[in-house]
Structure 1
Amino acid sequence: MLVFSTRLPLKAEVTHQDCLKLFTEWVIGSPHYQIDELYFNVDSHDDYDYTKNNITFSVRHYKDESIELSACRLQNREENLVWDNDCVILTSEGQRSLLIQLNCNWTDFRTDLPPIHKPYIVRMFVEKGYCGFDGKIPVTDTPIVAGKDNYEEYRDIMCGKSAYEMPVVYISRDYWGKTAVSPRYLAHQLSGIAHVFVEENYEIAARLQKDTCGNNAYLGYVGIYFPGTSYCQKHGLRYYDNDFYKMCQGIIDDVWDAIMNRVDSTQYNWNQILALQARQKMLKMKNVSEQSKEELDAYIDTFDKEKKELEDKVEELNRKVLSLRAERDGLMAARGTVNKDGMFYNAGLEDELYPGERNDLLYSILFQVLNKYEEGTRPYCIVKSLLDANPKIGTCETIIKGVETAFRSGEKLTKVVKGQLKDLGFTIEEDGPHYKLVFKDPRYMFIVAKTPSDHHRGAKNLTRNICRALDVEKKL
């Protein structure tokens, strides 16, 4: 069965011969295959087969008026298990790409699979610099910084307006500037499979929140975006018991599942190339009868119909996968709030602006209503139990006190005051005659005049407005 599939765009200057040469270097240099030398001429268009012990290396070529194909198959036969690693170089309409597929099949009746790893040849193509651009995105093994210069690129990806083929992994930063996972580690593990973007700073997240209608991953979350859709699959540390390694593996697994459901998994595989070769050879035979041609055409038509049915099935399954992923994300979010963050409610659609915000809101509400119930009654006992099991975190109280301290001496935004506000999570926009203070989300914007007329009254009113909007612990 197919266990891995990816398609790499190749640079225009990379030839079929370059790829074939890299294939032979991979096979000869691998410590797993014990092959001394392959007497294979990369400039030849003849078929080639090499067998030694449990290893077979084969090359096939096909060319017609529309496409050119060169395919290599490395077969490794282990006890009760056969690995087929196929590499297909495709040139069509002036574009060159590489399809890499890995099949694993038991020769007995087992159903479980051994551990599956990305074929090393994928890494070799990326490190060699043979890969080109997937749409506007370079194929690389290092994270791409999501900053001001390329803002439109990843904004359009989040809005489903960009054309690309590999999934995109977007790593956001929390308001302390940290990421939940290592961008370099993910980019290395997903090289040749997905693109990895890492947010430059939190100001980018605030801008994306407005321009993508909230479809961006932010505050330390990681979002996976899939070609042809604006759907975002979000991953957070709270889903993984705050274990960043488990989170990384969860992201890698979901990307792996996505590439397995691409239509490429049924296009230009080894068996199809053999069929194309057979058809071409038979048609070239001078003494072939018209009846034989018709029979061959009928066979190829049947093959093509079967292939189309498989493609339609893959597309249908892919849609189901996306639907199930969305359902799973909702369940994981609900489960995470109950089991992993110590919260006692379903999170809903409104993301937290900082860790513990929802917890402290409900804690404040329940604490205030506790004394409305008679002590010893069932409602009193339930509320008291919830308060004991979910203690107050207190981040909001720290933010409110910080705002009051910052504006205690007046409304003027000195360098010190700006630093205090940024430490609390505010971003400050200085364009125009006013300052714009944004607390993590464009909906929470506060205007401050650069030359305030009534210094102390303005500071008091500003502090009151900020507290009214952000204080989740205020008295009911």
Structure 2
Amino acid sequence: MSNTWGGIDGSISVSDQPVWVTDSDDGLELAHAITLGGASRWLPIVYVSANGRSSWQLSRNDIEGLAYDLGGIAHVFVEPNRAFSYKLRSITEGRNAYGGAMGLSMPGQGIIRRYHVGWDIQNSKDLKEILKLAAMSVRSQMPVLGWDWTDLQEQALRAQRERDRSRLSADDMAQLYDEEIANLQDKIRQLEIQVSSIGIISASDSEFSDDNLVQLIGPEFYSGEISDRIRLAMKLGLNVADQVGLDERSRVIFHKIIDKLPVSPALNELLLDLSRATKDSKRVASALVSLLARHGYFEKADNKHIRLEALKGFEGLEAITLPKTPSDGRGLKNLCKQVERTLGLTKLVD
């Protein structure tokens, strides 16, 4: 595959190297096709979204290792930066993976699941392994329109044995049989890995996972919001544990949830975005409108102010009123804090 012998899948060359998407119109068009399922025909795609400029939840080495392990099984595409993610979100109506999340895209379906460090994935090492298993499992359930590498080896050995049956010695025939058995054992190991991964990557509706919670509760206005609010609820519960007579078992579980459930990277990104949007007094209104429009709000203009209201499905998000006239430095800081409080972000950070 490193010599471009992997073939073409739709418009994508099959490779064991990641594709670093360019920050351009062509790159945006490609990412749009990946998100909606129009980029490939035969193989799934792992889409690595950015949580900053040239930064991701996986290191470059891990991304390259993931692409190598998935060579011929799935494509790996890497987003260039967070600003690119915002543009992609606006043209895909929020269907893209963003905020550092990893999206698994199926041909003809688009992104079917997102993965990020959080409740059920504790660190980047686990994230990489679960992505690999998920891609392998999804690929195994797709129609097989040809031989994979193990099938090709098996058929080649059989053909060689039949062709050379009359002139091979017993030792040579035994060696061919041994090689064929080794290939079959390798295939069995791959199938065992895929079967064992089904429980990890295919949570039922009754199981606790970020995806299932989103389906039950409604959309998040940033990736990982629900788990962050569950974490906050555990902290508040422990703060009043003595007053309400909370039992010891619940206290232990609450502490473990707080310890094991990190604050989502997307929360820190959103706070940084709010800080940047309230730096320039001349652009603060337009910058905040643009930012909040990507996070579940739509604009309603009043006389001297701009009123932003939450879209349907984002129950509990209060309306935000922004001044149209420029503010001084102190006013900008107060405005930023006001928006953070309205969104309920202040207490979510450790």
TM superposition score category, shorter chain reference: 0.5 to 0.7
Q: 2:36 aligns with which of 154, 159, 163?
A: 159
| Distance (whole Å) between structure 1 residues aligned to residue 147 and residue 341 of structure 2 | 58
Counterpart in the other structure of 2:104: 224
Matched pairs, number? 261
| Distance (whole Å) between structure 2 residues aligned to residue 459 and residue 435 of structure 1 | 14
Quote how far apart the aligned CAs of 1:385 are.
4.6
| Distance (whole Å) between structure 2 residues aligned to residue 372 and residue 133 of structure 1 | 65
Q: Larger Rg: 1 or 2?
A: 1
**Greater RCO, CA 8 A, separation 6+:** 2
Alignment partner of 2:291: what SS? Answer: strand
Quote how far apart the aligned CAs of 1:151 are.
1.0
Which structure has more helix as a fraction of its residues?
A: 2
Alignment partner of 2:145: what SS? Answer: helix
Quote how far apart the aligned CAs of 1:154 are.
2.1
User: Is 1:180 aligned to 2:30, yes or no?
Assistant: no
- Structure 1 pair 458/152, CA: closer, same or farther in 2 (3 Å)? same
Q: 2:291 aligns with which of 431, 434, 438?
A: 438
| Distance (whole Å) between structure 2 residues aligned to residue 330 and residue 383 of structure 1 | 25
CA contact (8 A) 2:47 2:76 kept: yes
Which structure has more strand as a fraction of its residues?
A: 1
Alignment partner of 1:153: what SS? Answer: helix
Q: 1:140 aligns with which of 10, 15, 24?
A: 15
| Distance (whole Å) between structure 2 residues aligned to residue 458 and residue 225 of structure 1 | 40
RMSD across aligned positions (CA): 4.8
* 1:50-449 correspondence to structure 2 within 5 Å: 126-130=1-5, 133-149=8-24, 150-162=27-39, 164-175=41-52, 177-180=55-58, 182-238=62-118, 239=120, 241-242=122-123, 244=125, 246-260=126-140, 261-265=142-146, 328-331=201-204, 334=207, 347-349=213-215, 350=219, 353=223, 357-367=228-238, 370=241, 373=244, 375=245, 384-391=251-258, 412-413=279-280, 434-436=286-288, 438=291, 441-443=294-296
| Distance (whole Å) between structure 2 residues aligned to residue 242 and residue 394 of structure 1 | 9
CA contact (8 A) 2:12 2:39 kept: no
What letter corresponds to residue 145 of structure 2 in structure 1? D
Quote how far apart the aligned CAs of 1:452 are.
0.5
* TM-score where L is the length of structure 1: 0.43
| Distance (whole Å) between structure 2 residues aligned to residue 263 and residue 237 of structure 1 | 32
Counterpart in the other structure of 2:163: none
CA contact (8 A) 1:143 1:184 kept: yes
| Distance (whole Å) between structure 2 residues aligned to residue 364 and residue 206 of structure 1 | 32
| Distance (whole Å) between structure 1 residues aligned to residue 48 and residue 124 of structure 2 | 16
- Structure 1 portions without partners, runs of 5+: 1-125, 274-320, 338-345, 415-429
- Structure 1 pair 361/133, CA: closer, same or farther in 2 (3 Å)? same
For each residue in 1:372-396, what CA deviation from the matched residue of structure 2 results, as whole angstroms up to 9, or x when unmatched? 63x4xxx565664554444488969
Quote how far apart the aligned CAs of 1:197 are.
0.1
- Structure 1 pair 470/328, CA: closer, same or farther in 2 (3 Å)? same
- Structure 2 portions without partners, runs of 5+: 156-193, 298-307, 309-319
Quote how far apart the aligned CAs of 1:145 are.
1.8
Counterpart in the other structure of 2:167: none
- Structure 1 pair 327/248, CA: closer, same or farther in 2 (3 Å)? closer
